[in-house]
Amino acid sequence: MRNIQLTNVKEPKKDGVNKPIFLTDETIEYRKNKILTRMKERNLDKLVVYGDVEHGSNFEYLVGFFTRFEEALLIIDKDGTMNIVLGNENLNKSSKSRVEITKTVHVSLFSLPNQPNRTDLTFKDLLKEAGIKADERVGLVGWKNFTSSLEDNAHTFDVPYYIVDAIMDIVGNKDLVTNECAIYIGEHGARCTNNANEIAHYEYGAALASDCMLDAMNAVLEGANELDLGDKLVRYGQHTSIVTIASSGPRFIKANMFPRDNTVKVGDPISLTNGYRGGSSSRNGIAVKDESQLPDGQKDYLDRVAKPYFNAYVAWLENIKIGMKGSEMFDLIETELPRAKYGWSLCPGHLIGEEEWMSSPIYEGSNEKLESGMMLQIDIIPSVSGYTGSSAESTVVLADEKLRNEIKEQYPDMYERMMNRREYMINELGIDLSKDVLPMCSTVAYLRPFLLAHDKAFKVVK
Give tens-digit pLDDT for 308-355.
999 999 999 999 999 999 999 999 999 999 999 999 999 999 999 999
pLDDT of residue 424: 98
Are residues 320 and 415 part of one domain? Answer: yes
Q: What is the pLDDT of residues 357-374, one digit of tens each?
A: 999 999 999 999 999 999
> Is residue 291, in this structure, part of any structural domain at all?
yes
pLDDT of residue 18: 85
Judge contact between 12 and 424, C-beta under 8 A: yes
> Is residue 251, in this structure, part of any structural domain at all?
no
Task: Give the end of a domain, one of 179, 199, 222.
Answer: 179
The stretch 42-53 carries a mean pLDDT of 97
Task: Give the end of a domain, one of 134, 158, 179.
Answer: 179
> Is residue 234, in this structure, part of any structural domain at all?
no
Which residues form the domain of 341? 4-21+191-211+277-460
Question: Could you tell me which of 330, 239, 304, 260 has the C-alpha nearest to residue 57?
Answer: 239
The model's pTM is 0.96
The stretch 408-431 carries a mean pLDDT of 98
Are residues 293 and 425 part of one domain? Answer: yes
The stretch 137-151 carries a mean pLDDT of 96
* Average pLDDT score over the chain: 97
Q: What is the pLDDT of residues 432-447, one digit of tens each?
A: 999 999 999 999 999 9
Q: ∠ CA(433), CA(437), CA(438), 5° rounding?
A: 115
Are residues 203 and 161 part of one domain? Answer: no
Classify burial at 267, counting beta carbons within 10 Å of its beta carbon; exposed 0-12, middle 13-18, buried 19 or more: middle
pLDDT of residue 9: 98
> Is residue 138, in this structure, part of any structural domain at all?
yes
CA–CA dist 168, 236 (Å, integer)? 43
Are residues 83 and 11 part of one domain? Answer: no
Q: Residue 116: which CATH number?
A: 3.40.350
Are residues 109 and 15 part of one domain? Answer: no
Q: Is the pLDDT of residue 210 over 90?
A: yes
Are residues 153 and 195 part of one domain? Answer: no
CA–CA dist 208, 442 (Å, integer)? 10
Are residues 332 and 207 part of one domain? Answer: yes
Are residues 15 and 86 part of one domain? Answer: no
CA–CA dist 445, 443 (Å, integer)? 6
> Is residue 198, in this structure, part of any structural domain at all?
yes
Banded pLDDT at 423 (limits 50, 70, 90): very high
Q: Is the pLDDT of residue 52 over 90?
A: yes
> Is residue 368, in this structure, part of any structural domain at all?
yes
Are residues 139 and 12 part of one domain? Answer: no
Are residues 195 and 171 part of one domain? Answer: no
**Which letter, b or e, does each residue of 312-351 get, where b requires 16 or more Cβ atoms within 10 Å of its Cβ?**
bbbbbbbebebebbbbbbbebbbebbeeeebbbeebbbbb
For the chain, give the percent of residues with pLDDT over 90: 99
Amino acid, res. 459: K
pLDDT of residue 295: 97
> Is residue 451, in this structure, part of any structural domain at all?
yes
Judge contact between 76 and 49, C-beta under 8 A: yes
Task: Give the end of a domain, one of 139, 158, 179.
Answer: 179
> Is residue 270, in this structure, part of any structural domain at all?
no
For the chain, give the percent of residues with pLDDT over 70: 100
Banded pLDDT at 225 (limits 50, 70, 90): very high
Are residues 298 and 435 part of one domain? Answer: yes
Tally of structural domains, the chain: 2
Banded pLDDT at 122 (limits 50, 70, 90): very high
The stretch 105-118 carries a mean pLDDT of 96
Q: Is the pLDDT of residue 150 over 90?
A: yes
Are residues 204 and 86 part of one domain? Answer: no
Q: What is the DSSP letter of 305?
A: I
| DSSP string for residues in 229-272 | HHHHT--TTPPBSS--EEEESS--GGG--S--S-B--TT-EEEE
